[in-house]
Structure 1
Amino acid sequence: MSDNHNNHKNSDSQPLSEETREDLRRMTLGLTDQKTIDTLTRVGMMAKNKRESSRAHREQAAARAEAEKEATAKKKDTLVEETANEDGGAQDGGTKSCKESNKQT
């Protein structure tokens, strides 16, 4: 495997112009400036906190929706049981009316 970082012996390469060297120097200084490093660190932490917060809110919303769905299903089951008990426990599948059921007893 060749080492691309130390491959400076290319005969076709031209030396960097003074303008390019100055640009590189300014970019290097800008990226190594402590104020810049602090700013980038702070922005990165803010983005991380926002992602975690969004994820937590999404999970809470999903949990609330699931709990609400279960509560609705339980309420519906309870209502069906109460309705069945009011009909006297008739389990004819709804084919007989209440009057017919009462006449037979």
Structure 2
Amino acid sequence: MAEFRQAGGKIDITATKAIAYHEVVVIGNIIAVASHSAKIGEKTSAYTEGVYEIKKGNEEITQGAKVYLTTDGAITATAEGNTYAGIAWRNATANDVVADVKINA
């Protein structure tokens, strides 16, 4: 048996560090985008679904590729040592400073 709790597009979190509005945060094995800023210890919520423009490094990323979040908050195609972020929603050239990512896909 299962009881419905919520749709799952947002998750409630308690900030373990200061969080800025729309900052990408790692929560266990998922990433989320903060819906509000929060100070350490404050509760807020973060989006766990959708397509977001997230900064990236200077590598090319192909539409549909699995992408990962580095410890400095940038998107990369390199899995090792990084947190799975989702799927690249469009191509990004090496010169692009952001990548469109469908998070947690």
Q: Which has the higher contact order (CA 8 A, sep 6+)?
A: 2
Q: Could you say whether these structures have the same fold, taking a TM-score greater than 0.5 normalized by the shorter chain as the test?
A: no
Bucket of the pairwise TM-score, normalised by the shorter protein = under 0.3
Question: Which of the two has greater helix per residue?
Answer: 1
Question: Which of the two has greater strand per residue?
Answer: 2
Higher gyration radius (CA)? 1
